[in-house]
Amino acid sequence: MNIPEILDISLVEESRKSAVLLEKFGGLPLGGHLVLNHDRDPRPLYFRLLEHTGRGFSWKPLESGPEVWQVKVGKRDRRDLEESIGRIVIVDPRKAAVFKELGIDFSCGGDRPLAEACEEMDMNLDVVLTRLNGDLAATAYPAMDFLHWDTGFFCKYLVNLHHGYVRANLPFLLETSEKIARFYGARYPELHEVHSLVKQVAEGLTTNMKQEEEILFPYLTDLAYALKSGRQLAALAQVALKPLIYSMEAAHERIYDAFSRIRKLSNSYRAPNYVTHGFRILYKMLQEFEDDLQMHLHLENNILFPAAIRNEEELRQRPVEPANKS
């Protein structure tokens, strides 16, 4: 039995913490683990790992303060991802509703094997599988063969549908959360934090969508065109796609984390008794916004980004045609 190495990151100089964790993680074999000890919440280190290595790692909290935080960090074998949560939703979108009800993240956590997620959340895998394989309600989300879409068209779809939804609804959501916090904040102080988190989500989404539309999506569209036309892409030598996607995935998870906190603060969007219609409208808007956000991030993290990486790798392996001699 292999005993995981214990890395007490609290003893490492602040400026070196990320580098030390990345070095130790890089030295792990596939399927290997280490146990990270810290004297405060190590979540910022999670995001640093995500930004630098992608989602090929597991992160299982073992102890969560108030004096000691301990996390089991593992190097995931990417070959296991055929049975990932994201893949389950891709094959049957109706199962997303089951994951939502159980609190299992299929958007930012969609790369995890279901067994791993159940273990992390102390859920019985057989019970979850029974739910997934039972009678499922029809989804309002259209059944589409996203896996076989051209990535350039996929980018346009995301901009028109999901980015469009965010731009259409975010201003009213900001305005309503501020108004309800102002009127009800004394009685329900959590509303001030909800409004603060909505602002955080708004800033994160605005920045993320701008980067996608101005940098990432045009490049992915060029990749798709190059594959269809049989041409090489001159920009391949200048763009590092994986680090850019890792950065986007980390941004997505920060946004999703903020909305998870909103859900907890709002008691899963259940408004208290004897409040105005405006209060209830806010919670309904928040729930609808999160529903769209989950599908938005699922499509990008679990379908578009992996397809784009495969496209780039295929183009990089394509022989470069010699220049025509005049």
The CATH class that applies to domain 5-76 reads: alpha beta
For 252-303, how does the pLDDT look when each residue is reduced to its tens digit (9 = 90+)?
A: 999 999 999 999 999 999 999 999 999 999 999 999 999 999 999 999 999 9
Q: What is the mean pLDDT of residues 13-22?
A: 94
Please report how many Cα atoms fall inside a 13 Å half-sphere around the Cα of residue 23, on the Cβ side.
8
Residue with tokens 């928040």: 286
For 184-228, how does the pLDDT look when each residue is reduced to its tens digit (9 = 90+)?
A: 999 999 999 999 999 999 999 999 999 999 999 999 998 888 888
Q: Residue 98 — pLDDT band, cuts 50, 70, 90?
A: very high
Selected residue with higher pLDDT from 22 and 238: 22
- Residue 56 is predicted with a pLDDT of 85
Could you give the CA distance from residue 52 to residue 84 in angstroms, rounded to a whole number?
Answer: 21
- Residue 326 is predicted with a pLDDT of 45
Residue 80 pLDDT > 60: no
Lowest-confidence pick of 12-26, 121-135, 142-156, 229-243: 229-243
- Percentage of the chain modeled with pLDDT above 70: 92
Enumerate residues 6+ apart whose C-beta is below 8 A from 172: 285
Residue 143 pLDDT > 70: no
For 50-71, how does the pLDDT look when each residue is reduced to its tens digit (9 = 90+)?
A: 999 888 888 989 999 889 999 9
For 298-321, how does the pLDDT look when each residue is reduced to its tens digit (9 = 90+)?
A: 999 999 999 999 988 888 887 655
- Residue 82 is predicted with a pLDDT of 56
Q: Residue 294 is encoded by which pair of tokens? A: 């989950």
- Residue 54 is predicted with a pLDDT of 87
CATH 3.30.110.40 maps onto the chain at: 5-76
Other CB atoms within a 10 A radius of the CB of residue 276 amount to 12
Q: What is the mean pLDDT of residues 34-55?
A: 92
- Residue 217 is predicted with a pLDDT of 95
- Percentage of the chain modeled with pLDDT above 90: 67
Selected residue with higher pLDDT from 314 and 164: 164
Residue 101 pLDDT > 60: yes
Could you give the CA distance from residue 212 to residue 133 in angstroms, rounded to a whole number?
Answer: 36
Q: Residue 236 — pLDDT band, cuts 50, 70, 90?
A: low
What are the CB-based long-range contacts (under 8 Å, 24+) for 45-50?
45/9, 45/17, 45/18, 45/21, 46/71, 47/250, 47/253, 47/254, 48/18, 48/21, 48/22, 49/21, 49/22, 49/25, 49/73, 50/246, 50/249, 50/250, 50/253
- Residue 163 is predicted with a pLDDT of 97
Is the pTM of the predicted complex or chain greater than 0.85?
yes
- Residue 321 is predicted with a pLDDT of 58
- Residue 78 is predicted with a pLDDT of 61
Mean pLDDT of the chain: 89
